[in-house]
Amino acid sequence: MNAAAIVFVLVAAGTMAAGLRATGWRSRAIARLAPRQPAAPTLPSPAMIWRDLVSWIGSSVPAPSRDLGRTKRRLIRAGFRDPSAARLFQAARASLCAAFGLAGAAAVWKAGSSVLLIPAAAMAGYMAPGQYLLFRIARRKRAIERGLPNALDLLVVCVESGLGIDQAVIQVAKELREAHPEICDELAVMNLELRAGKRRAEALHNLADRSGTEDMKKLVAVLVQTDRFGTSIAQSLRGHADYLRTLARQRAEERAAKLAVKLVFPIFFCILPSLFIVTVGPVLTRLIRDLLPMIENM
């Protein structure tokens, strides 16, 4: 009797557990298939509010179509490839112009400065984003010129090992990602253009236009001519790599030759006055201390 009761209890407990588990699966399935309730509205962050405000200002500010194309080209050369970069740039110009103008008006009202300070401050705020953009373009050009010889050497190694030019470009973009991210980004964009169906010559010309450096334009010319006439890519790249090394050495020698001329003004205005004070100063002090009493006694 006791054994039968124990078996009954075990079977009942197992049946209950299986039923509860099946009920849980059914409830989870119903909850998964049910339409989701809209999330409770949350307050937007200050960064999102500021971004939306700047985007609205950029959309409201009229921009000439002629200047818009040039601005987009400059933004791409500076590394800003977002489709809304031009709109944000125009918004930054308008916002800084208004902010600097208000700051100039406050300075005129507080300190009683000239009224011309207001348009000067507004003009400075309008020109500040453009100057920052030119600074970014120049820095990116220097980074590309600095990383191009290393990328070209690795490209030569990849081509000579049996890879095609497209696979070699992909490999170079992967290997030099940490050392030279700027040139790797440009090579990755060129690879995406090739995958999208553009001709290799067109993708190479776009690469030269995005980088804006003379060294990249020369490399693109070499690759286009090699692809057109069917010459050896490895030999052409090796010759161009040697040319870039020689050009970099000549640029370093030119900078070293200009260094003596550039040091004339710091030496004349900074070092020579200090040298005169150290060498002639004690002598003049002794002369004045000894000669003035003698002159007064005479």
With beta carbons less than 8 A apart as the criterion, state whether 210 and 144 touch: no
Counting Cβ atoms within 10 Å, is residue 20 exposed (0-12), middle (13-18) or buried (19+)? Answer: exposed
Q: Answer yes or no: is 283 within a domain.
A: no
Q: Answer yes or no: is 181 within a domain.
A: yes
Structural domain including 206 reads 141-258
Q: Do residues 230 and 123 both lie within one domain?
A: no
Q: Do residues 146 and 200 both lie within one domain?
A: yes
Domain C-terminal end among 137, 171, 195: 137
Rounded Cα distance between 101 and 115, Å, is 11
Q: Do residues 99 and 154 both lie within one domain?
A: no
- What's the pTM value of the predicted model, to 2 decimals? 0.67
Q: Do residues 241 and 157 both lie within one domain?
A: yes
pLDDT at 140: 92
For 156, half-sphere exposure in the C-beta direction (CA atoms, 13 angstrom radius) is 15
Domain C-terminal end among 113, 137, 161: 137
Rounded Cα distance between 14 and 22, Å, is 12
Q: Do residues 77 and 156 both lie within one domain?
A: no
Q: Do residues 254 and 146 both lie within one domain?
A: yes
Q: Answer yes or no: is 287 within a domain.
A: no
Q: Answer yes or no: is 194 within a domain.
A: yes
- Position 145: which residue type? E
Domain C-terminal end among 81, 113, 137: 137
Q: Answer yes or no: is 92 within a domain.
A: yes
Task: Look up the CATH number of the domain holding residue 240.
Answer: 1.20.81
Q: Do residues 60 and 89 both lie within one domain?
A: yes
Q: Do residues 195 and 248 both lie within one domain?
A: yes
Q: Answer yes or no: is 23 within a domain.
A: no
pLDDT at 131: 92
Q: Do residues 147 and 248 both lie within one domain?
A: yes
Q: Answer yes or no: is 265 within a domain.
A: no
pLDDT at 40: 45
In the chain, how many domains are there?
2
Q: Do residues 130 and 145 both lie within one domain?
A: no
Q: What is the pLDDT along the chain (298 residues), one digit of tens a residue?
A: 455 556 556 666 666 666 666 665 556 656 655 555 554 445 455 555 655 655 555 555 555 556 667 888 888 888 888 888 888 888 888 888 888 888 888 888 887 777 788 888 889 888 999 899 999 999 999 999 888 888 888 888 888 888 888 888 889 988 888 888 889 999 888 988 888 888 888 998 999 888 888 888 888 888 888 888 877 888 888 888 888 888 888 888 998 888 888 888 888 888 888 888 888 878 788 777 777 777 676 6
Q: Answer yes or no: is 42 within a domain.
A: no
CA torsion angle 28 32 33 34 (round to 10): 90
Q: Do residues 131 and 160 both lie within one domain?
A: no
Counting Cβ atoms within 10 Å, is residue 79 exposed (0-12), middle (13-18) or buried (19+)? Answer: middle
3-state DSSP of the chain: CHHHHHHHHHHHHHHHHHHHHHHHHHHHHHHHHCCCCCCCCCCCCHHHHHHHHHHHHHHHCCCCHHHHHHHHHHHHHHCCCCCCHHHHHHHHHHHHHHHHHHHHHHHHHHHCCCCCHHHHHHHHHHHHHHHHHHHHHHHHHHHHHHHHHHHHHHHHHHHHCCCCHHHHHHHHHHHCCCCCHHHHHHHHHHHHHHHHCCCHHHHHHHHHHHHCCHHHHHHHHHHHHHHHHCCCHHHHHHHHHHHHHHHHHHHHHHHHHHHHHHCHHHHHHHHHHHHHHHHHHHHHHHHHHHHHHHHHHC
Q: Do residues 62 and 147 both lie within one domain?
A: no
